[in-house]
Amino acid sequence: MNKRDYYEVLGVSRESGEVEFKAAYRKLALKYHPDRNPGDKEAEEMFKEAAEAYDVLTDAEKRQLYDRFGHEGLAGSGFRGFNGFEDIFSNFGDIFEGIFGFGGGGGRTRARQGKSLRYDLELSLEEAFHGKEAEISFQRLEGCPTCHGSGAKPGTQPETCGTCQGRGQVIRSQGFFQVSSTCPACRGQGEIISQPCPECGGGGKNRVEKELQVKIPAGVDTGSQLRLRGEGESGENGGPPGDLFVVIHVKEHNFFAREEDDLICQIPISFVQATLGDTMSIPLLGEEDAHEVTIPKGTQPGEIIKVHGKGMTSLRGFRKRGDLYIKIVVKIPDKLNQRQTELLQEFAQTEGLTLSKKKGKGFWKKKGH
């Protein structure tokens, strides 16, 4: 997706300064904040986009790089934006304090995005070929319905921590220096729950079993990930939920091997088939009818026969399926009956070969070495 110009995102000119940037960002943060737009994915993206633009334009080094080389210049320097809302809140706490009455110094009142989760799903190669509807079951933390996530007993409220005055941090002087550390009384929450909720024990969340129907697209491979937005653990203090990442693992097949969108198999043939040629039927993945493969006359061991468009379903848009590569394995019989031996001896004579019945001396000895 192409990124918009950062000046356009904030609605400011290229001659604007930090004061204009901050005012513009406060306006956008107020408009698109996740607390005011619960479940609105478009608002979430606008909120993140505005934060990224503000971060770049208020940093002299980043802004200079962006003005000269654009988004590509920032990407080349290692800039990747923000990982999530928690990242944004922790960086611009002073701005959110002015808008919403809380900042970045800790405390339970700060909105936090929920934790993202991972689910590992195993598929057969056939399931990966066709795609499927899979039902998955997993556990996640959800806001307690009794206390609505506050952690306090219904009818009561968390109390502001008297030690840190709700900041979540305490500052101690050591000589000429001041050292900030997590408040030991509230453990950085800024609040103390004197009467915890009987259902969640004051944690504000309960672990629940969740079932989902997941649509697996055709062509997935081991390592493919499906991101289910908002299906992770619930956020805190109005923060959005995390995401669920479904990681695919495709089991090995007993006949086909896979390399990206292509399939590879081996078929054994006799030396007679390799010499005279033949036609064979082989199974195809995802199809009921077998495929007729022509073995050309004089086929050598290890030769590859390519069957176009009979590989895996492709996730890529430029082709529907990969190709099938058939490796020929020529089997040499270790036992012959008398008639077979006679026929081969006659064949050897037509080629002017005289086969010794005695044990050979070896290649090097024949050469006089």
Task: Note the pLDDT of residue 71.
Answer: 84
How far apart (Å, rounded) are the C-alpha atoms in residues 128 and 231?
Answer: 23
What number is the average pLDDT over the span 89-97? 56
Residues 6+ apart with CB under 8 A from 347: none
Residue range 340-361, pLDDT digits in tens: 888 888 888 888 877 766 655 5
pLDDT of residue 107: 45
User: How much is the pLDDT for 124?
Assistant: 93
pLDDT at 104: 40
Written as six digits, the tokens of 153 are: 């007993």
Which domains can be identified in the chain, with CATH numbers?
Answer: 6-100 (1.10.287.110), 257-350 (2.60.260.20)
Q: Kind of pairing, strands 291-295 and 262-270?
A: unpaired
pTM of structure: 0.59
Predicted confidence band at 66 (pLDDT cuts at 50, 70, 90)?
A: confident
* 102 vs 164 pLDDT, higher one: 164
Under 8 Å between Cβ of 47 and 87: no
* Residue 196 main-chain phi, psi, to 5 deg: -70, 155
CA 194 to chain centre: 42
Q: How far apart are CA 29 and CA 43, in angstroms?
A: 10
Amino acid 30: pLDDT: 83
Q: Count CA within 13 A, CB hemisphere, residue 161.
A: 23
Residue 89 — very low, low, confident or very high, per pLDDT cuts 50/70/90? low
* H helix or E strand, kind and range, residue 160: strand 159-160
Position 287 scores a pLDDT of: 85
pLDDT digits (tens, 9 = 90+) for 48-62: 898 898 988 988 888
Q: Which two tokens stand for residue 341?
A: 């031996």
Phi first, then psi, for residue 321 (nearest 5°) are -140, 155
Helices of type H across the chain: 6-10, 18-32, 41-57, 60-76, 85-91, 93-100, 125-130, 271-276, 338-350, 363-366
* pLDDT (average), residues 157-162: 85
**Which of the four pLDDT bands, split at 50, 70 and 90, describes residue 323?**
very high
pLDDT for residue 160: 86
Distance CA 1, CA 183 (A): 43
In the chain, the percentage of residues whose pLDDT exceeds 70 is: 83
Answer yes or no: is pLDDT of 175 > 60.
Answer: no
Distance (Å, whole) CA 46 – CA 52: 10
* Residue ranges of E strands in 183-253: 191-192, 205-216, 225-228, 244-250
Least confident of 118-122, 226-230, 231-235, 357-361: 357-361
Q: Checking DSSP bridges between strand 159-160 and strand 117-123, what pairing results, if any?
A: unpaired
Q: Say whether pLDDT at 270 is over 60.
A: yes
Mean per-residue pLDDT, 270-282: 89
Q: Quote the pLDDT of residue 360.
A: 52
Q: Give backbone dihedrals phi and psi of 7, rounded to 5 degrees, phi first.
A: -65, -35
Task: Give the model's confidence band at 101: pLDDT under 50 very low, under 70 low, under 90 confident, else very high.
Answer: very low
Nearest to 251, CA basis, from 220, 286, 288, 226: 220
Q: What is the Cα–Cα distance from 261 to 263, expressed in whole angstroms?
A: 7
